[in-house]
Structure 1
C-alpha cells in the first residue's frame, strides 16, 4: 500500500490502523466517511506519529483523539 497517494482507501486504512493501535473503544466516532481527502496530509501526520510509538500516555491518547475530532469537524 502506497500511503503517499491520496485516496479514500488509504484514509480508511490509516484510520483503521490508528484506532487499532490506540485500542479506541468508540471507533464509530472515527469513521473514514467523516474525513475529507483534503485532510489527507493531516491524517497522514497523525498516522505516522501513532505508528512510530509503542506506548501512549492517557493524555497523548486524548490529544490524538481530539486532533482526529478536529479534522472530522472541519470536514462535516
Structure 2
C-alpha cells in the first residue's frame, strides 16, 4: 500500500515540475502584462518550494519503508504493527 502512495506522490511531483516548466515558458511569452508576470512568477516560486518539500518527504518515506523490512528482521519483529 505504501509503495502505491509513494509512486503516486512522485508522479504528482513530476506533474507539478512539468507545470512549473510550462509556466516559466509562459512568463517569457508576450501575452502577459507586468503585474501578471510578477504574480505568475511568485506562484511558480511557491509551487517550486512546495514540490521540493513534498519530494523530500516522499523520498524520506520511501527510504524508511525500504529500511523497515530489514529492521523488522534484525529486531525480531515478524508481525504487523498497528
TM above 0.5, yes or no, is no
Q: Which has the higher helix share?
A: 2
What's the TM-score once normalised by structure 1's chain length? 0.35
What's the TM-score once normalised by structure 2's chain length? 0.34
Q: Which is higher, the Rg of structure 1 or of structure 2? A: 2
